[in-house]
């Protein structure tokens, strides 16, 4: 099996491993979004609108917690994509064979850039803002 110039079996296997990790991280991110929206919806639905009701603050905390967790997975996915690109390209100092150390060889991916990216803001920012408005108006 030949993947092109400089792509031996070892390098192709390394790329397959990196692809599988990236796919799993993407799947985890998708599942986290689904759980967050489902649980927040359930908490808002069971709110009894009494002054001491704590479901809206819990829904807000849940949205922020899932936002941070999803940010972790998305950051890891981006690091592994950069590592994948480094393995594919012919850089002067390629990463060691079969390395999975995305923190060391994956470049710099800032948390703030991930957490404040458009998809994250659209999903979690809107959910947190809606929960905050419910907290203000129902609290």
Q: Is residue 76 part of a domain?
A: yes
pLDDT attached to residue 89: 84
pLDDT attached to residue 3: 47
DSSP the chain: ---STT--HHHHHHHHHHHHHHHHHHHHHHHHHHHHHHHHHHHHHT----TT--HHHHHHHHHHHHHHHHHHHHHHHHHHHHHHHHHHTT-SSPPPTT---HHHHS----HHHHHTSHHHIIIIIHHHHHHHHHHHHH-
pLDDT attached to residue 1: 42
For residue 15, the enclosing domain spans 9-138
The count of domains in the chain is 1
Q: Is residue 4 part of a domain?
A: no
pLDDT attached to residue 57: 84
pLDDT attached to residue 2: 45
pLDDT attached to residue 55: 81
Q: Is residue 60 part of a domain?
A: yes
Q: Is residue 58 part of a domain?
A: yes
pTM, two decimal places: 0.83
Q: Could you tell me the mean pLDDT of each successive run of 10 residues in the chain, 139 residues long?
A: 63 93 95 93 78 78 94 94 87 80 85 93 92 80
Q: Is residue 2 part of a domain?
A: no
Q: Is residue 98 part of a domain?
A: yes
Q: Is residue 72 part of a domain?
A: yes
pLDDT attached to residue 11: 87
Chain CA centroid to CA 134, Å: 26
Q: Is residue 1 part of a domain?
A: no
């Amino acid at each position: 099996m030949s993947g092109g110039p400089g792509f031996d079996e070892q390098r192709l296997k390394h790329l397959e491993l990196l692809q599988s990790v990236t796919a799993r991280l993407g799947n985890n991110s998708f599942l986290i979004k689904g759980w967050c929206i489902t649980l927040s919806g359930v908490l808002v639905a069971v709110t009894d609108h009494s002054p001491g009701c704590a479901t809206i603050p819990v829904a807000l905390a849940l949205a922020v917690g899932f936002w941070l967790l999803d940010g972790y997975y998305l950051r890891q996915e981006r690091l592994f994509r950069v590592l994948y690109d480094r393995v594919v390209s012919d850089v002067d100092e390629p990463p060691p064979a079969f390395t999975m150390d995305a923190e060391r060889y994956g470049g710099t991916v800032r948390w703030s850039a991930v957490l404040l990216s458009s998809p994250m803001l659209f999903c979690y920012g809107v959910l947190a803002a809606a929960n905050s408005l419910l907290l203000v108006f129902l609290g």
